[in-house]
A and B are shown apart, each in its own frame.
Chain A
Amino acid sequence: MRHSLSCLLSSLAQSRTLSLSLRSSPAPPVSFFFRSLTQRRRQSLPSPRLARRFAVEIKIVRDMGGHDESETSGRKESEEIDVPIFSGENMQSNMKVIYYSRTFMSIIGGVIAGILGFTGLTGFIFYFLVMAITSIGLIAKTGFSIHSYFTSWSQIIFDGFLGGLLSFVLFWTFAYDIVHIF
């Protein structure tokens, strides 16, 4: 009886009606709930092989929980169930990494544009090219799994796009003048 009830609950979990029923019905005593959970777990482990894998899986998860050099994985999300767990300071530090990379690349890009003698529109196209290269580099740094580091595509591509423009223009003018005019 308990097993079928918990199976029913779990099958309902896929549909939206489960949340409604949980709110309207009185909450079951906690001990009963936990007992049913443990019972179900024991029944769903058919063989000792699966138990060993379970232990291995925990170890793997702990190893992957370490930090990268510059970017820290900020989000964990399961495939079927959407339970976003954000780590606020990781996400903030990721945004700072994007900002610093873009500023640095815009300065370097400005110097390059000045030395190569770009004028007018060519220079601004070069600026967008440099920003695109920065975006591709950042995406490659995340290992092409954007969603474990940022909330959305737009953050890593468009954030701080125009922030480096003034620094770019400054260093572009500087290098251009030093090399070409004087």
Chain B
Amino acid sequence: MAEDLVLDTAIRDWVLIPLSVVMVLIGVLRYFVSKLMRSSQNPDAKLVKEGQVIVRARNLRAAANFIPPKSFRARRFYYSNEENGLLFVPKGQAQNAQAQMFSDPNMAMDMMKKNLSMIIPQTLTFAWVNFFFSGFVAAKIPFPLTQRFRGMLQNGIDLSTVDVSYVSSRSWYFLNLFGLRGLFSLILGEENATDDTQRMMQMTGFGFDPSKSLGAEKDGLDIVQHDWTMPKFERRAESVLRKLVR
């Protein structure tokens, strides 16, 4: 069962290395194409304003302890005031914004473009691999697997006595697909978007409900207990000085 197959050197030269090189190049190409095709979206002024308000409220919440209590209360009132507070949004308007965002044709087009640029290279490469590189043993994975993986990894090889470690080129393709993500993040920087899960997170970020986040910020701001740290900073300065003196 565990006999060592002797594999042709030509397989290494013409299957493993070209497949890896092609996948790396396609990844790089996809990165540049997505960069070029990213249409400059004119940002909606209202959305940007709301986003900035959220950022300001978050900063206030984070640094609340560094300003005197009265000024903190004044700022909090400015944000969560009932009549014209920035974070207070009546319920009726909120639903409109969300519905409008989803039916916006520009955003739908962008999502479609991102989807296509992700799926088409993968599909094409997979079809190419299946057509050219099927029916022979391509590689040996260095760790043993159980028999249940045989159907998945050895799809083109019809011998049932070959060790499961000897896999076909389809599994080499999948191994490359997942393993080259790390390499892409190294050579392409952060904005490579070759990962499906990252893309999913970006897409759900677009459908973000602004009123919900405003309400969340308002609640968070209301919860904050103000504890002015300036009096304590004197003790801190004193202790630091004492350490220096000694």
Contacts and interface: CB of A to CB of B under 8 A. Distances in A.
Interface of A: 9-10, 13, 19, 22-23, 27, 30, 37, 40-41, 44, 49-50, 53-54, 56-57, 78-81, 83, 86, 96, 99-100, 103-104, 106-107, 113-114, 118-121, 123-124, 163-164, 166-174, 176-178, 181-182
Contacts, number: 126
Given A80-B239, A106-B182, A170-B180, A176 B140 contact: yes
Contacts of B183: 103, 107, 167
Nearest to B226: A23
Contact of B178 (A44, A86, A166): A166
Interface in B24-67: 62, 65
A166 B179 contact: yes
Contacts of A10: 231, 234-235
9 contacts: A10-B235, A22-B227, A49-B245, A81-B233, A107-B183, A167-B183, A181-B5, A181-B140, A182-B11
Given A173-B140, A177-B16, 9 more contacts: A54-B241, A57-B244, A83-B232, A83-B236, A96-B190, A103-B182, A119-B144, A166-B182, A173-B142
A67 to B, nearest CB: 20
B186 A182 contact: no
A177 B12 contact: yes
B199 to A, nearest CB: 17
B20 interface: yes
B140 A177 contact: yes
A33 to B, nearest CB: 8
A121 B231 CA distance: 58
A123 B142 contact: yes
B143 A104 contact: no
A100 B184 CA distance: 11
Interface in B56-113: 62, 65, 68-70
Contacts of A22: 69, 227-228
Interface in B173-190: 175-176, 178-183, 185-186, 190
Contact of A78 (B179, B180, B227, B239): B239
A119 B62 CA distance: 51
B229 interface: yes
B170 to A, nearest CB: 14
B238 to A, nearest CB: 7
B216 interface: no
Contacts of B140: 173, 176-177, 181
Contact of A100 (B142, B143, B186): B186
Contacts of B185: 99-100, 103
B240 interface: yes
B34 to A, nearest CB: 21
A138 to B, nearest CB: 17
Contact of A53 (B178, B234, B245): B245
Contacts of B245: 49-50, 53
